[in-house]
Structure 1
Amino acid sequence: MSLPSRRSILLAGAGTGALITVVGTASAASAEAVRYYDVAPGVRLNVRGGPGTNYPITRVLSEGAKVPIYCQTPGTTVTGPYGTTNIWDNIANAEFVSDAYVYTGSDGYIRPRCQV
């Protein structure tokens, strides 16, 4: 028998937030498995605080990095090893990289759009 897992989710609305806790078994609470995607070879990739080159760099990924993509959103158009695109990949909370540097095997969206 699995022990219930807990996840807290912050819901925002009308300028205030509410914190709720979701309780369920590990199998019920788990979403699809996280897949990691290769960053272009030889690239040290800037991670930004939002989906565009106007956002501050929060860190730099080392060569050979792999990233999860939780959601994708339009932003600044960037040209990189995998073409020209305005798609930005959300790789962690408030961390985005241009899809032009991530090998996804597609020129379009492969993950849900980020909820703003």
Structure 2
Amino acid sequence: MARSLAHIICKRISALPAAGSSGILRFSTTVPNDPDTHEDFRPTSKIENSGVSLKEIVEQDVKENPVMIYMKGVPDLPRCGFSALAVRVLKEYSVPLSARNILEDPELKTAVKSFR
């Protein structure tokens, strides 16, 4: 009985129009460079405040970690399909990995692209 009830509930929820849920997400998004946000409440990057250049951070990450992934999100919560697939494959083969979220700092993404 409980299983069929859960099945019915899930089926009805999935049948709801997607437009109905967009109103919820509209209020939960953040704009990091919003001019109306006081400076004390804006997100800060730990990398920017460390005094170390992004190039040095990328070099250090690559030297210290056998497998380093610069990904969208974090391994436990990837934010794109490619990142999720990469993490899943590495975990399947028990490869120890380190990761850094490039969505937190757009300049880090640029530094990774220029790294050789």
Question: Is the structural similarity TM-score above 0.5?
Answer: no
* Structure number with higher strand proportion: 1
* Structure number with higher helix proportion: 2
Instruction: Please tell me the TM-score bracket, short chain as reference.
Output: under 0.3
Q: Which protein, 1 or 2, shows the higher relative CO under an 8 Å CA cutoff with sep ≥ 6?
A: 2
The structure number with the bigger radius of gyration is: 2
